[in-house]
Amino acid sequence: MSDEMPLARLFGIVLQHHYATLNERLRPFGLSAGQVPIMLRLAAGQNVTQEALARQFHVDKGAVARAARRLEEGGFIRREIDPIDRRAVRLFLTAEGERVVPEFVRFGREWEDAITAGLDADEQAMLRSLLDRVVGTCADARCCHE
């Protein structure tokens, strides 16, 4: 199986599998995997700043900007300049966005289910817990966020 596989490669393989799976399912929408986290976040509550998204998902603000642009071009979100702080852009789902986002949620959930199909509930919880802690360790290394 894992004959001398660097730990980093394991992460890479899983991540690429995620991109491949999501990209395929999102192609009919003209979208790809990078836009999903934004949609998921908006499904849970709108009126969100790009900066808040970048911070929440530990993603570069440039990546958020590009993803938001594609979502807007596709007609899934609307962007409004915050009247109080005119630097900030606030994101909202359009009617079309509201309509499709449950499917995106399902895509994400199904991928997680598929990937952890060989693990029982305890092992899944253990995996997430260990990943959380590893992420915490490497997040501390560079920035010192919340």
Partner DNA sequence: GGACAACTGTTGCGTCATCAACCTTTATCT
Partner DNA sequence: AGATAAAGGTTGATGACGCAACAGTTGTCC
User: Is residue 65 at the binding interface for a second copy, with CB under 8 A as the rule?
Assistant: no
Place of tokens 């509550």: 45
Identify the residue among 41, 46, 49, 78 touching DNA (CB under 7 A): 49
Residue 28, classed as helix, strand or coil, is: helix
Partner interacting with residue 123 (select from a second copy, DNA, none; CB below 5-8 Å by kind): a second copy
Tokens of 15: 């991540």
Burial of 31 (0-12, 13-18, 19+ CB in 10 A): buried
- Between CA 73 and CA 71 the distance in angstroms is 5
Query: Would residue 130 be called left, alpha or beta, if left means φ above 0 and alpha means ψ between -120 and 50 degrees?
Result: alpha
Provide, rounded to whole angstroms, the least separation between the CB of residue 3 and a second copy.
7
User: Which residue, chain included where needed, has tokens 């449950």?
Assistant: 102
Q: Pick one of 27, 66, 80, 114: the residue that binds a second copy (CB under 8 A).
A: 114
Q: Which 102-141 residues touch DNA, going by CB under 7 A?
A: none
What are the residues binding a second copy (CB under 8 A)?
Answer: 1-15, 17-18, 20, 33, 36-37, 40-41, 44, 56-59, 108, 111-112, 114-119, 123, 126-128, 130-139, 141-142
Under the rule (CB under 7 A), what is the footprint of DNA? 9, 12-13, 16, 19-20, 23, 32-35, 49-51, 54, 58-69, 79, 84-90, 142
